[in-house]
Structure formats: C-alpha cells, structure tokens
Amino acid sequence: MNYRTALALLLCTTLLFAAGCEQTSIAEQEAIKNAATLQAATPSATPSVTPTPTPTAPPTLTPTLGPSPTPTATPNPTRTPNPTLTPLPPTPTPNAALAGFSLCSQTAGESDGGRFSAQVSGITTTIEPAFERVTIGLRVPADSAPPHAVARCLGASDDAPGASSTYSLLIDLGDWLHDDAFKTTAISPTGTLSGTTALKSMSYRFDPNAVAGATLAFGLEQPLPYRLTLETNPYRLVLEVAKSGAFGPGSDMLSVSTTSSVTPDEPLFYIQDGDVWKYAGGKAANLTKDGRAGQYGAVTDLAVSAAANALAFCAVAPGADAGDRLAQSSLWTLDLDGTVAQDLSGEVLACADPAFAPDGKTLAFSLAETDASPPRFSIWTVSADGGTGQRVSAPSDEWSRFGPQWIDGDRLVYAASAEDSRSTLFVHGPGNVEKDVGADLIKGETYRSLGRPLVAPDGSAIAVEALRAGGGADLLLIDRDGAPMASQRQIAGGYWNRPLAWGAGGTLYYLNTTCASEVAQSYTLRTRALKTGEDKQVALGTSLGGLGSVAATGNGLAYVTVEHTPPGPRGPLRLDAQSASALWFWDVGGGSRAKLAGASSAIGDVTP
C-alpha cells in the first residue's frame, strides 16, 4: 500500500461523548500531505527521539532535605585521571513528523490561567503513519478563562496500582470547574479505544467532592514520546502519541557495559540490605553481617577515612525499623577489614550523616535529640577514638541541621531546614562560631531553597543545588567561606543540575537532567574544572530508572543505578529503598565501564 492510499484510509473513531457531540471526522479536517512529507513521517527501523523540554515551567518538586544517602567527599586520589570525551551513541536522524514529541511533562494553555468552565463536546482518534492522535473538543463559555491542561507519563503502578497497562499517560485538567457545563459532560469512567495500537485504553476520573479538577488517563504498554497542544476557535486539546518508543539497547549509556574486566584501583565500600560491604580484588564481601544480631541492627549511613584506616556508620538498634528516622541508633567505627568495632555514641535517639575530618581523628554527625515530628537534628562531633560528644550547633532554634561536611580540620558546612519550608547553609568555624551563608544565596525570587553541600577534597569549593522557585535546580559553586566563587558562574540550564562527586584536581562531576519527566530521565553527565571553568560532556542517555550514589576514585567513577525511583519528576537524588540496583565502575580516562555487583534493593553511600 502506498502512502497516499494509507492516508485515504485514515481511521477516525468517535470514542466517548456528551449530548451534542461533534460527529465530524478529524481526518476530514486534515490536509492531504505530499509524498515527501509522508516519507519523512515514516518511523525508521530503530527510531529514537530526544526529549525536548516545553517552554513552560515544569511542576514544582520539593525533594526531601532531611538526612538521606549523600555522596561523600573523597580523599585526594593517588592517580589523577584525565577525563576525556567518551564516544557517544550516534545521533539518530530525526523524524520530521515527531518534532516536539518527548517524554517531558507538558503544559497546553496558560498554566496559571485559573479555573475555567468547559463541556467536552467530543473525543475522537486519528491514526497517522508515525503517531496516534486524540482530539478532545471543548465548548467554553465566552465569560470563562481559557482552558489549560498538563500531560505527564508515569508508571501505572505509580498512578493506579493494579492497572491493566504498564504505563499511564495523564491529561490533568486541575482547574476544570465542576459547574453545569462540567456536569453535562457525559464521559464513561472507562472506555476501549478502537483502531489504536499505541494507546491501549482510556479512563476518566474526578473527585465528586472537589470544586474543580478531572483527569483523562490513557494506558500504554511502553513509554512513548508525546505532544500536547491546545487549539482555539474552536477549543480543542490535541494529544499525539508516537507509535514507536524512545528507548533502545544503548539508550542509557551509564547502564551499558563496555568490558567485563575493569575494576577500581582502590576498595569501594557501600551499604546493601542494611550491611556494610567492601568491593576489592574483583569480589564483594559483607563486613557487618556477623555482628548485626548481637551488636547492631541495620546500617543507615556510611563514611570512610583512609587516614583513620576506618569506616564509620550509623546503625539502628536491633529489631528497629531502619526506615524510621527517629529509630534508636548508634554511631560505630570499624576497621577497613571489618574488625574492631567500637560504639562511639551509645544508643541515641537517631544518628545520621557521619563524616570524618581530613586527618581522620574526628567525626561529625547529625543527631536527633527529641522524638518530635518532623525530627529536628543538630550537629555533633566526637573523637574517632571514642569519648564524649560535643554539640556544634545551637541547642534550640527553628533549624534542623544535617549533612555535615568538613571544609578543613577546623570548619564544617551543613544544611538546615525549618518547618515553614525555609532552608539554608551554615558554616561552623573556630571559636564555636556558626554563620548562616545560605540566606544570601537564595535572596530574591529566583530560588526557594538549597540542597546538601558537597565539599571538594581540598576544601576550596562547595557545590550545592539551588532549587528554583518555578521548578528544577541550578548548581551553585561557593568558596570555603560560603561566598559565590568569582571565577565560576552558576551551572544552569535544563531542568535539574545535581552535584555527584569531586574528582582529583578540583574536577566536579554533575548530572544535568534535560526536563521534568515522571517516567524517564534524559541526562548528560558533565565535568566542570574548578581552576579553568572548562565544562565537558562525558556521557548522555535516557533512563527509565535513576542514578543513586556516586563517588570519584583514583581512576574513575563508582556509581549506582536503580531500576525504580519514587513518584515525581526525575532530577534530584530520590531513592526507592526496595528498588533493584547495580554498582558500576567507569574508568573515565580509559573509557572502560562494567557492572561490579547487583542487588534486589537499593545500594547506598558508595565511597572509596
């Protein structure tokens, strides 16, 4: 069948409609395309679409700013890799018919347009060579605000557990008033789509007790690029979904092995299933399994010091829930070979975020002193040899402090949050002086909060996420005193910029997420040289999972990939503790990359 014949047989089916529904076929309203356009619209044998961010602001995400797995600043490596541009996957020839299609969350109309009145006059499908179209006709009163909607794709289990399809593509009409026009829209709660192959089903839902809002949900068997637009005169919401997926065997570069033999040149330590593991010599060994039953319960946070020849970890009391942030726990040290365990704190209410001083003689950590909810943490230090802990932060104020990192032997930087959603950074120095350095960083209307600090091994720079007021995050580089570095501009662009790890010579590894998407993460892994400001792309890809803990080693990067992330737009570090995961190592200079270990739960706190 030639392309003109195919167009002549375009299928247009009226699905679900109210009284007075338009019966006109959408296909009859489409102009017949010429042969050249049809050829361009035909998907290639292995189509791959690069997600394109929409110009409107993505949904605002508020990640958890409390204690959670955080990359630990690594000591100066013995060997300095020279990161080179890793050969990237070939760029596919774009399909002209799929311009503007992506897996990004998308807004049609003015997202801040307010509540509107509308009646659905008809819902139709059209089948095109490269995509399927759903058109939703809207009758909008003259005195109403214009309609608007948000489209987002997510795993069906995150949308409606037990759904028949694997993925859901949602059109959210959050400001659709439940007035007379709404009530005269008679759409069935569920429906079967006729003639479509990419779109498997459709459902309609709303809260009858709410004054506004409704959702149209379309079932998919795989995440497919889509495009949502709003047409006027008359108003029509148009959802177009590609027939072919955006993923192939090499879509996620960080999950593709290039060899089976590459290994880090120094041991790696990490948390898996509540135990501390050590990877060395091509093998992984459990360092804490024998002690769990009698001495301590599940390990929650980990730090390692080559200077002290020891690791430190927080562990909940035996039998306590490791996911309870207020569970009784203790701070322990352990020799790097898994022997000579020592309890430094005794059983306290909750311990988190241990961090060794550069000389390995002192540990900083977060401590919850009351059982208030949400928990309020303070910062303490204790000798790595044991002794009485010393409070670093103020005894009582509005701030919960967490995530301490050593700038040098005398100074710490840590994050803080308040119950009213404010956040900041504190620098604590000699004389027990604590200085708020975060307030000036987020002054104005650009940013609303800050993430955790990540300190360079020599203490000369600190990287921190600055969460934008409109959604997403930039990356700020500040000096040891908390002031913006004059030689470095902020790292912006895309949806989210997340610091990963500091390498040798002041090289920062960071992840740029292209756009807000709840089903996939399109990313570029980049390096920023602190001395020169040179910024390089070293990897890129699109992942249905996520990137967890990352650490720089002497000859590359160790990192964790996870199969599933919690609901919400991808970008920040957010882990599902029950997700299957894998530990990888990448010799960035040489280009070799291999999976070292796999687990049925999330691996955390990787550090050399």
Contact 314, 296 (CB under 8 A): no
Q: Which among 402, 360, 399, 350 is positioned nearest to 382, based on CA atoms?
A: 360
Instruction: Give the tokens for residue 181.
Output: 């026009």
CA distance 464 to 336: 30
CA distance 462 to 70: 14
Q: Which among 530, 529, 517 is positioned nearest to 538, based on CA atoms?
A: 529
Instruction: Give the tokens for residue 447.
Output: 């940013």
What does the pLDDT look like over 53-74, one tens digit per residue? Answer: 333 333 333 333 333 344 343 3
| CA distance between the termini of the chain | 61
Residue 27, helix vs strand vs coil = helix
- Does residue 294 or residue 246 have the better pLDDT? 246
> If you average pLDDT over every residue of the chain, what do you get?
84
Give whole-number Cα distances, 503 to 479, 506, 510, 565, in Å.
17, 6, 11, 26
CA angle 603, 606, 608 (to 5 degrees): 150
What does the pLDDT look like over 128-138, one tens digit per residue? Answer: 999 999 999 99
Instruction: Give the tokens for residue 548.
Output: 């967890």
pLDDT of amino acid 92: 55
Beta pairing, strands 342-343 & 447-450 = unpaired
Q: What is the mean predicted confidence (pLDDT) over 113-132?
A: 95
pLDDT of amino acid 498: 98
Q: Which among 249, 240, 179, 248 is positioned nearest to 214, based on CA atoms?
A: 179
Report whether pLDDT(89) > 90: no
Neighbours of 337 (CB within 10 A): 11
HSE value, Cβ hemisphere, 13 Å, CA-based, for 337: 2
The region of weakest confidence among 86-100, 193-207, 408-422, 542-556 is: 86-100
Q: What is the mean predicted confidence (pLDDT) over 270-296?
A: 84
Q: List, in sequence order, the alpha helices (H) in 287-400.
A: 289-292
Report whether pLDDT(45) > 60: no
CA distance 361 to 314: 17
pLDDT of amino acid 290: 65
CA distance 43 to 530: 43
CA angle 385, 388, 394 (to 5 degrees): 125
Residue 36, helix vs strand vs coil = helix
